[in-house]
Amino acid sequence: MAKVRGAIVVDTERCKGCDLCVVACPTDVIALNTQLNGKGFNPAYPANHDACTGCMSCALVCPDMCITVYRYKPQKEAV
Amino acid sequence: MSEILTPEEIIKKGELVFKKTKFMTDANLSYCPGCGHGVAHRITMEVIEEMGIGEQTIGVAPVGCSVLAYDFMNIDMQQAAHGRAPAVATGIKRVFPEKYVFTYQGDGDLAAIGTNETIHACNRAENIVIIFINNGIYGMTGGQMAPTTLEGMKSSTSPYGRDVSTMGHPIKITEMVAMLPGVCYATRHAVHKPGLVRKAKKAIRKAFENQRDKKGTSIVEIVSNCNSGWKMTPVDANIWLEENMLPVFPLGDIKG
């Protein structure tokens, strides 16, 4: 049961809170933070980070390039 | 091995699969939240990075929302007068035939004031790439009606909706120029869904490869949203785009 796991890093100061990544995420990882960023937007943050698979859907639709995606494949370690 | 890794450990141990391309500057994009311009900028620059042609590429920025594209694209850029980007790109390409030249234009720029330049650059088979962002409205100036505005669509200069009997039909520039023998590749894409972003990127790559192979003009239309101009949230604007724009501007290759 080697499950691919992912993680995202959101540049909250760059984020404009457009909500597109929240809709694009197939595993409902991302939500908008109630805390505002410096520009007064509600930035995206990984609310349910354990469900992330590193599929990059959020990063592909993000117009402001705020999201960096990492992916980890457990079977790689066994080899 | 069913170890549970924390996100921090994944970031440390895992591989980096996506980050901002170095050909986009760190400047904050001046576009509205959710605007398709950001994605279109990014995929263009990613293609340039993947083809390794960053130092040989010259972009021509238009007038419109993307007028500041030279602030965001970390390559050589030239500003053109309103609608004249294909004419300026023609000049640049003829002086530097070995460089890659592309124009990045919106629908108010390319389909309205610049129709003449666009059609004649395509007709001369100028070896350039035209990236055409179609959002059916003049975004920067406050949501006025553009030639590509849909029938019945409300804008600040057509408050009762576009009436085709007096205002004409939405113009399909990509289909028009596809008829010209000088155009080797005409295609239409969208960037509101992850799968469509991948397809649009492939199309832009093919367009730059056509330029490398000296095949003629390539035009890549990207149907995008304008949530401020349409007076919607970004998510609603993408749904509206899918339901209303795409039937009029169907996606796919038109030529090539």
Phi, psi of B202 (to 5 degrees): -60, -40
Q: Using the beta-carbon criterion (under 8 Å), do A20 and B234 form an inter-chain contact?
A: yes
Chain B residues whose CB is inside 8 A of the A2 CB are: 1
Please check whether residue A43 touches B, CB under 8 A.
no
- Which backbone phi and psi does B237 adopt, to 5 degrees? -65, -40
Between B6 and A52, name the one with better pLDDT.
A52
Q: Which of B125, B88, B110, B84 is nearest to B172 (CA)?
A: B110
pLDDT tens-digit profile of B22-41?
A: 999 999 999 999 999 999 99
By C-alpha distance, the chain B residue nearest A69 is B18
Q: What share of chain A is helix, strand, coil (3-state, %, to 5)?
A: 20, 25, 55
pLDDT tens track for A23-39: 999 999 999 999 999 99
Report yes or no: A33 at the B interface, CB cutoff 8 Å.
no
Q: What is the CATH number of domain A5-78?
A: 3.30.70.20
Which of 3.40.50.970, 3.20.20.70, 3.10.20.30, 3.10.560.10 would CATH assign to domain B29-255? 3.40.50.970
pLDDT string in tens for chain A (79-residue length): 567 889 999 999 999 999 999 999 999 999 999 999 999 999 999 999 989 999 999 999 999 999 999 998 876 555 5
Q: Are strands A67-72 and B15-18 parallel, antiparallel or unpaired?
A: antiparallel
Q: CA torsion B65→B68→B73→B75, rounded to 10°?
A: 130
Question: Which residues make Cβ contacts (< 8 Å) with residue B190, sequence separation at least 6?
Answer: B36, B196, B200, B222, B223, B224, B241, B246, B251
Helix pair B36-51, B194-212: axis angle to 10 deg: 50
Amino acid B10: pLDDT: 85
Residues of chain B with C-beta less than 8 angstroms from the C-beta of A50: 4, 7
- Burial class of B53 by CB neighbour count within 10 A (0 to 12, 13 to 18, 19+): middle
Rounded to a whole number of angstroms, the distance from the CA of B226 to the nearest CA of chain A is 12
What number is the ipTM of this complex?
A: 0.90
- Tell me which H or E stretch contains B212: helix B194-212
Q: Which residues, listed in sequence order, are joined to residue B57 by a DSSP beta bridge?
A: B100
Report the DSSP pairing between strands A44-46 and A30-32.
antiparallel
Q: Shortest CA distance to B28 belongs to which of A44, A60, A46, A63?
A: A63
Count of alpha carbons within 13 angstroms of residue B255, beta-carbon side: 22
The pLDDT of residue B2: 54
CB contact A7 to B (< 8 Å):
yes
Instruction: For residue B247, give the H/E element and its range.
Output: helix B246-248
Provide the 10 A C-beta neighbour count for residue B125.
16
Percent of chain B with pLDDT over 70: 99
Shortest distance, CA A68 to any CA of chain B (angstroms) = 5
Provide the strand spans (E) within chain A.
5-10, 30-32, 44-46, 67-72
Instruction: Give contacts of B2 with chain A, Cβ < 8 Å.
Output: 1
pLDDT of residue A78: 52
pLDDT tens string B68-114: 999 999 999 999 999 999 999 999 999 999 999 999 999 999 999 99
pLDDT the model gives residue B51: 95
User: What is residue B241's DSSP assignment?
Assistant: I
The DSSP 8-state label assigned to residue B99 in this structure reads S
pLDDT band of residue B11 (cuts 50, 70, 90) is confident
Per-residue DSSP letters for A21-37? Answer: HHHH-TT--EEE-SS--
Residues of chain B found within 8 Å of residue A38, distances taken between Cβ atoms: none
Q: How many other C-beta atoms are found inside a 10 Å radius of the C-beta of residue B8? A: 10
> CA-based Rg of chain B, rounded to a whole angstrom?
19
Residues of chain B in contact with residue A44, where contact means CB-CB under 8 angstroms, are none
Angle ∠(B189,B194,B196) on CA atoms, nearest 5: 15
Domain boundaries, chain A: 5-78
Q: Do A65 and B42 touch (CB under 8 A)?
A: yes
Q: Structural domain boundaries of chain B?
A: 29-255
For residue B228, what are the contacts with CB-CB under 8 A and spacing of at least 6?
Answer: B32, B35, B139, B143
Whether B25 contacts B72, CB under 8 Å: yes
